[in-house]
Structure 1
Amino acid sequence: MKKHVVFFEVVGGTDKGPDGHRADTMPMVKSLEARGWTAEVIFYSDEKKDEIFEQVAKSADAYVSRINPGNLKSEAIYFQMLRDLCEHGVKGMPHPEAMIGYGAKDALVKLRETALVPEDTYAYYDIDSFKENFPKVLKNGERVLKQNRGSTGEGIWRVQLISEIGDASEVPLTATVRCTEAKDNHVEEHDLEAFMTFCEQYIVGENGMLVDMPFLPRIKEGEIRLLMLNKTPVNVVHKKPADSADAFSATLFSGAQYRYDEPEDWADLVHSFMSTLPMITERLGGYDLPLIWTADFILDTDENGNDTYILGEMNCSCVGFTSQLSLSENVADEIISILTQTETVEQ
Structure 2
Amino acid sequence: MDTEQHRPLRSTVAILSRGDAAARADATPQNSRFVRVFEALAAIGIEARPVIYDETFADAVRDQLLSVDGVLVWVDPIHQGKTRVELDPLLLDVAARGPWVSAHPDVILKMGVKDVLYRTRHLGWGADTHRYDTAASFRAEFPSRLRANGPRVLKQNRGNGGQGVWKVEALSNADTMVRVLHAQRGSLPENMPLDGFLARCEPYFGWGGCIIDQAFQPRLPDGMIRCYMSGSKVAGFGHQLIKALIPPPPEGVDSPEAQPGPRIMHGPDAPQFQALRRSMEDEWTPRMVETLDIDEASLPVIWDADFLYGPTDAAGADTYVLCEINASSCFAIPEEAPAAIARTVKCLILQTQGTSSGR
Scaled by the length of structure 2, the TM-score of the pair is: 0.81
Query: What residue ranges of structure 1 are gaps of 5+ in the alignment?
Result: 166-171
Question: Pick from 125, 128, 133: which aligns with 2:133?
Answer: 125
Could you tell me whether the CA contact under 8 Å between 1:24 and 1:325 is conserved in 2? no
Which one is further off, 29-38 or 218-227? Answer: 29-38
| Counterparts of 1:254 and 1:60, CA distance in 2 | 45
Report SS of the residue matched to 2:325: strand
Aligned to 2:259: 255
Q: Tell me: CA distance 1:326–1:116, structure 2 relative to 1, closer, same or farther (3 Å).
A: closer
CA contact (8 A) 2:27 2:51 kept: no
- Kindly indicate whether residue 309 of structure 2 is the aligned counterpart of residue 295 of structure 1: no
1:104 aligns with 2:108: no
Partner residue in 1 for 2:73? 65
Amino acid at match of 1:314: I
C-alpha distance in structure 2 between counterparts of 1:12 and 1:178, whole Å: 40
Aligned residue identity for 2:62:
F
CA contact (8 A) 1:148 1:208 kept: yes
Structure 1 residue 206: deviation in Å?
1.9
Partner deviation per Cα, 1:115-146 (whole Å, 9 max, x = no partner): 2212x312223211110111011012110011
SS, match of residue 236 in structure 1: strand
Task: Confirm or deny that 1:343 pairs with 2:353.
Answer: yes
Which one of 257, 266, 280 corresponds to residue 273 of structure 1?
Answer: 280
2:311 counterpart letter in structure 1? T
Q: Distance in 2 between matches of 1:110 and 1:212?
A: 12
> For residues 337 and 313 of structure 2, what CA distance do their matches in structure 1 show?
39
Q: TM-score, normalised by structure 1?
A: 0.84
CA apart distance, 1:54: 4.0
Give the conservation status (yes or no) of the 8 Å contact 1:6–1:39. yes
Structure 1 residue 105 displacement after superposition: 0.7
**Residue 64 of structure 1: how far off its partner (Å):** 0.6
Asked if structure 2 preserves the Cα contact closer than 8 Å seen for 1:17 and 1:23, the reply is: no
| Matched position secondary structure for 2:219 | helix
Q: Aligned ranges for residues 3-152 of structure 1 at < 5 Å?
A: 3-12=11-20, 23-57=32-66, 59-71=67-79, 73=82, 75-118=84-127, 120-139=128-147, 140-152=149-161
Pick from 152, 157, 161 the counterpart of residue 166 of structure 2: 157
Question: For 2:46 and 2:257, how far apart are their aligned partners in 1?
Answer: 37
Q: Which residue number in structure 2 is paired with residue 310 of structure 1?
A: 321
> Within 2, Cα distance between the matches of 1:260 and 1:18?
33
**1:122 and 1:327, CA in 2 relative to 1: closer, same or farther beyond 3 A?**
same
Report the residue type matching 1:91 in the other structure.
W
Q: Aligned in 2, Cα 1:300/1:133: closer, same or farther, shift over 3 Å?
A: same
CA distance in 2, matches of 1:149, 1:89: 27
Deviations 1:211-235 (A, max 9, x none): 1110010111111110112222122
Q: Distance in 1 between matches of 2:25 and 2:166?
A: 33
Matched residue count: 331
Unaligned runs of 5+ in 2: 1-8
For the structure 1 residues 304 and 182, does the alpha-carbon distance in structure 2 shift closer, same or farther, using more than 3 Å as the test? same
The letter for the 2-side match of 1:316 is A
Answer yes or no: is the 8 Å Cα contact 2:184–2:244 preserved in 1: no
Note the aligned Cα RMSD (angstroms): 3.2
Is the partner of 2:343 in helix, strand or coil?
helix
Q: What is the Cα deviation at residue 309 of structure 1?
A: 1.0
Quote the offset at 1:242 in angstroms: 4.7
Q: Decide whether the 8 Å contact of 1:239 with 1:259 is kept in 2.
A: yes
Q: What is the letter of the counterpart of residue 80 of structure 1?
A: P
SS where residue 332 of structure 1 aligns?
helix
Tell me: CA distance 1:188–1:146, structure 2 relative to 1, closer, same or farther (3 Å). same
